[in-house]
Amino acid sequence: MTKSENQFFVDSANLSPEALEKKHRLETDPQTRTDHMAYMEGMEQIQSDVMERVLSQMNSYDYSRYTAEDVRRALTKETCGIEEFKALLSPAAEPFIEKMAERAKIETSKHFGNTVYLFTPIYIANYCENYCIYCGFNCYNDIRRKKLSADEIEKEMKVIADSGIEEILILTGESRAASSVEYIGEAVKIARKYFRNIGIEIYPVNTDEYHYLHQCGADYVTVFQETYNSDKYETLHLMGHKRVFPYRFEAQERALMGGVRGVAFSALLGLSDFRKDALATALHAYYLQRKYPHAELSLSCPRLRPIVNNDKLSPLDVGERQLCQILCAYRIFLPYVGITVSTREEKHFRDGIVKIAATKISAGVSTGIGDHESKYEGKYDSGADDAGDEQFEIADERSFDQVYSDIESEGLQPVVNDYVYV
């Protein structure tokens, strides 16, 4: 794999000669990389067959064999099983997207009414120890790094809460050294003062650490597997703890074992074969739903976005029509799970998909570090001069009030919180 063969590599002109040499070796010589299927020291190994079951289904999935008749049969069945779901994800289903949308809308209305949940992410640090070649935070990307202090976290959270948002998702770069579990726990404790529902999207940790974060106030955990193709995963994650495929895969199960209320799953569409990644993402949730029936589960469906030092990233082969197909198939297959569509997508797509399959969207978003106050007061024109760089470019820059109003104008009910602590 060379730079000319891969769209993901970023400009690293400002790296030291030593760093450039190491980066080049990682990119060009697989022998310099650790085994991506081997757990590193300190990584908890749990006894679970979920990964084996998911990967077996994904690897044997030949979506080219499905026909229009298979899709029609899937849409007539009252309950959608794995085989029907595979048909709905296949190319044969693309001419039936309108029919799929009709069925998905019925399922969404049946289980969620006309509600749309709103939340916002807050990035508290962008230091990272991984070399993931598609991510703006990766350790070899020359960006402005920042880690918020406790006072800065509280200030940012107060600004967000004052806008009317009651659910927040706390994110960091994947660096234990810069963003320890204790640091994240303190951020969660601060968030509990301002928000009713708190999620975390951080590097995977062990069961006891998830338990600690839950005790601090974390309600749910989000982990992106990025791609479920372990061979492709190896070529995209060249260094760091994130390189270990099975440890990342098992993160949601460890979080549930640690006591959190809910977990979220996702692949980053455009990194590998999106149909197989969509299948694996849903099956990951499907098998854990049966193993932990009390858990609240949700799916995301993000596509690649441009990053700092690489504005040419795009989701290969995944247009909005394919994305709509996946989301409708998710809803038909897993009618009870939440489905989140982020600001990676344009306003017109998000406004449309909440009428059909999605149940949660973000609003008032910044993927930078420490710039909510300047963005909110400046009506999203610019970030703070000392803010950390963003993880990726967003496509929908509407404020919370704008999104809330737009949802209401469509006859839907925006919801900021439905959870009461007793």
| DSSP codes joined into one string, 24-50 | HHHHH-GGGSPPTTSPPTT-------H
What is the pTM for the complete model shown? 0.90
Note whether residue 287 is domain-resident: yes
The residue count of the chain comes to 422
Q: Give the per-residue pLDDT at 365.
A: 81
Domain that includes residue 68, residue range: 3-415
Task: Give the tokens for residue 350.
Answer: 């998000």
What's the CATH code of the domain at 366? 3.20.20.70
- Between the alpha carbon of residue 346 and those of residues 81, 316, 349, 353, 359, the distances in Å are 31, 17, 5, 11, 16
**Looking at residue 307, what is its pLDDT?**
46
Give the count of beta carbons closer than 10 Å to the beta carbon of residue 34.
Answer: 12
Dihedral pair phi/psi, residue 154, rounded to 5°: -65, -40
For residue 161, the model assigns a pLDDT of 95
Report the alpha-carbon distance of residue 235 to residue 36 in Å, rounded: 10
The HSE-up count of residue 100 (CA atoms within 13 Å, CB side) is: 31
281: closest CA among 329, 241, 313, 240?
A: 329
Tokens of 165: 């948002």
d(CA 9, CA 350): 29
Phi, psi of 209 (to 5 degrees): -75, -40
Distance CA 59, CA 43 (A): 26
Closest CA to 54 of 262, 260, 278: 278
The verdict on residue 357 lying in a domain is yes
226 touches 271 (CB < 8 A): yes
Tokens representing 120 are 């916002």
Helix (H, G, I), strand (E, B) or coil at 20: helix
User: Measured between alpha carbons, how far is 367 from 169 in angstroms, rounded to an integer?
Assistant: 11
Q: Which residue has the tokens 């790094």?
A: 145
According to DSSP, the β-strands at 413-415 and 131-132 are unpaired
The predicted structure's pLDDT at residue 54: 98
pLDDT of residue 14: 62
What total of structural domains would you count in the chain? 1
Question: Is there a contact between 124 and 107 (Cβ–Cβ < 8 Å)?
Answer: no
Tokens of 182: 């204790």
> Does 420 fall in a domain?
no
Question: Considering the domain boundaries, does residue 422 fall inside one?
Answer: no
Q: How far is CA 374 from CA 143, 219, 377, 384, in A?
A: 19, 28, 5, 6
Q: What residue type is 348 in one-letter code? A: H
User: In angstroms, rounded to a whole number, what is the distance separating the alpha carbons of residues 337 and 112?
Assistant: 10
Domain-embedded: residue 146: yes
Is there a domain that residue 121 lies in?
yes
Provide the 3-class DSSP secondary structure of residue 377. helix
Q: What is the Cα–Cα distance from 389 to 397, expressed in whole angstroms?
A: 16
Residue 77 in domain: yes
Q: Can you give the pLDDT of all 422 residues of the chain as single tens digits?
A: 444 445 555 555 566 677 677 777 787 888 888 999 999 999 999 999 999 999 999 999 999 999 999 999 999 999 999 999 999 999 999 999 999 999 999 999 999 999 999 999 999 999 999 998 888 787 777 778 899 999 999 999 999 999 999 999 999 999 999 999 999 999 999 999 999 999 999 999 999 999 999 999 999 999 999 999 999 999 999 989 999 999 999 999 999 999 999 999 999 998 899 999 999 999 999 999 999 999 999 999 888 755 444 444 455 678 899 999 999 999 999 999 999 998 888 899 999 999 999 999 998 887 677 766 665 655 444 445 565 555 456 778 888 999 999 999 999 999 998 877 66
Domain contains 307: yes
Using the 8-state DSSP alphabet, how is residue 160 labeled? H
